[in-house]
Amino acid sequence: MKIGLSLDEVSLGGGSKFMLDLGRCLVAAGHRAILLPEVPGNWEPLLATGGLELVRAPALPRATFRGRARALADAWNRAGFDAIVVNVGHLNRLATCALHFLDARVPVMLVLHGDWESLYSLAEQHLPVWNCAVGVGPAVHARAAARFPSKPVFCVQNGVAIPGEAELRGRAEHASPLRLVFVGRLVDAHKGVFRLAPILAECRRRGVDVRLTVVGVGPDAGELRARFAAAGVSDLVEMAGELPPDEIPGVLRRHHVLLFPTNTEGMPLVVLEALASGCVPVVTRLPGITDVAVEDGVSGRLVEPGDVAGFAEQVAAMVDPVAWRAHSRAGAQRARMLFGVEAMGDRYLELIEGVARGACPLAEPYATSREAAPMPFTSEDHLPPVVLRNVPPGVLHSLIRLRHRLFPPRP
């Protein structure tokens, strides 16, 4: 089969890591996996190592957004995909809008990677034109299934590469200072990174000897540095920047604790990688998400959202070498039993093969033409970039209102 994997860009983030892993699984099973990013990304050189292909969206700088969506769908139609998997997100809105022009015979699977309202709303906006959806953990699956009762929604838990026994034997032994690591996009609204500074300050106040490595980049990097300085803990922190995804397991094996005070997730890959690597996760308790990944008090520690003192307390508990070793061993065993990437890939392949055979057909009349579905475009989507850049917003909106009065949109 020829399978398209659509996402915003191949760069830092769980969505890109998931698509790379899924693509490699599909290639290993004998299929063609073509990544379909909208914009260039700095992880693209990694595609060659897994036998993956890449085709980017056509560059049409003068076209309207609607015109670009139509051109993207035309390119996908010419490519002759047997199925297209879309990693849903607002950053790849072009792809989800292009689905409305896609040949109705090409099945579409949505992957929902997060448990937040805007993601479900986006899937709902395009409800008539996708065949099935996958939630990456129990919480996402349950909410999506309840939200879209007319559509098949499956649960496929994320998976990660499981290190061999030799790699695990080479992980860092318990020592002082306790080595903490955060891995992820430096976006506080999502990952809660601004809590890192007060957690370190609380550890210092309690006399817990720790060091923190921050792996990642993002718009809040500068503010995060400033907060480390303001809290008087800059001397405890190394800002490592972005690293290739295949280096992250090795980083985790060199650290003792994954410190992850996140706000919202779907099924965070880095937590699963930490378990597999013997790096004990101390992570926010998110029902149906992190409490599925981590068995609290056995393979890691769960902390209520925003509880800085609670995070410091659970980090301090890992100073005990007996407790840390028990958690580390239990985490590696749990990952091996429940979260292997091969099992994830097998389940996706089973579902993709099913939709390619017609297992999840579109409802009529959309099964004949996806263009029969309500079009998701705004008035601005019909205007060329030169107009959007140069016409003052007030004038632009007045013209749009006039157009709506003269030419009312079809229901």
Q: Pick 42 or 107 by higher pLDDT.
A: 107
Let me know: does 180 contact 259? Beta carbons within 8 Å. Answer: yes
Q: The tokens of 177 are what?
A: 């200072």
Which option is the CATH number for 165-339: 3.40.50.2300, 3.40.220.10, 3.30.499.10, 3.40.50.2000?
3.40.50.2000
274-301: average pLDDT: 97
Highest mean pLDDT among 7-11, 81-85, 114-118 belongs to: 81-85
For residue 410, pLDDT beyond 60: no
The DSSP letter of residue 148 is: -
The pLDDT-based confidence of 385 (bands split at 50, 70, 90) is confident
Q: What is the pLDDT of residues 161-173, one digit of tens each?
A: 999 988 888 899 9
Element (H, E) at 65: helix 65-79
Q: What is the pLDDT of residues 328-381, one digit of tens each?
A: 999 999 999 999 999 999 999 999 999 999 999 999 999 999 999 999 988 788
For residue 48, pLDDT beyond 80: no
The DSSP letter of residue 43 is: T
Return all residues near 371 (Cβ < 8 A) that are at least 6 apart.
100, 101
**pLDDT score at 3:** 97
Determine the Cα–Cα distance for residues 171 and 179; give it in Å rounded to an integer.
12
Rounded to 10 deg, the angle between the 269-277 and 321-338 helix axes is 120
217-229: average pLDDT: 97
For residue 283, pLDDT beyond 70: yes
pTM of the predicted protein model? 0.91
Output the DSSP codes for 343-372. HHHHHHHHHHHHHHTTSSPPPTTTTT-GGG
Let me know: does 213 contact 283? Beta carbons within 8 Å. Answer: no
Q: Do the domains spanning 2-159+342-377 and 165-339 agree at the CATH topology level?
A: yes
**Domain chopping of the chain, boundaries:** 2-159+342-377, 165-339
**pLDDT score at 393:** 74
CATH 3.40.50.2000 fits 2-159+342-377, yes or no: yes
274-283: average pLDDT: 97
Q: Are strands 280-284 and 257-260 parallel, antiparallel or unpaired?
A: parallel
Closest CA to 270 of 298, 247, 287: 247
**pLDDT score at 411:** 46
For residue 403, pLDDT beyond 70: no
Q: The tokens of 237 are what?
A: 């922190």
Tokens 């950053």 belong to 91
**pLDDT score at 46:** 83
